């Protein structure tokens, strides 16, 4: 069984064996998911930006030029005044 101690700041060091099993490294994020009262699962929240590829693609829209974007920004800014 792996154990950790909570510091006065509420921080813990995750034991090496647990980090290796989760596949997490320094700087990675983890999530605490409540699975029952007073019980949580630790889930790695790691992923690559590449995992998001195509997630927001809408093939029905045509590409927009920089000039069109700038005009839309100016138009939106003039409405907010």
Q: Convert the pLDDT of each residue in 26-40 to its tens digit.
A: 988 898 989 989 999
Question: What does the domain layout of the chain look like in residue ranges?
Answer: 16-79
Q: What is the dihedral of CA 20, 24, 26, 29, to 10 degrees?
A: -150
- What length does the chain have? 81
In a 10 Å sphere around its CB, with 0-12 CB exposed, 13-18 middle and 19+ buried, how is residue 73 labelled? Answer: exposed
Average pLDDT, the chain: 85
What sign for the dihedral angle of Cα 42, 45, 51, 55?
positive
Residue 52: predicted pLDDT: 67
Report pLDDT digits (tens) over 43-55: 888 766 676 666 6
**pTM strictly above 0.85:** no
Report the distance separating Cα 13 and Cα 29, nearest Å: 13
């Amino acid at each position: 069984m792996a154990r950790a101690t909570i510091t006065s700041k509420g921080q813990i060091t995750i034991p090496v064996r647990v980090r290796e099993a989760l596949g997490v490294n320094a700087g990675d994020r983890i999530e605490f998911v409540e699975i029952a009262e007073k019980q949580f699962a630790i889930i790695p929240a790691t992923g690559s930006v590449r995992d998001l590829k195509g997630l927001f693609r809408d093939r029905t829209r045509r590409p927009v030029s920089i000039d069109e974007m700038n005009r839309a920004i100016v138009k939106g800014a003039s409405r907010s005044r």
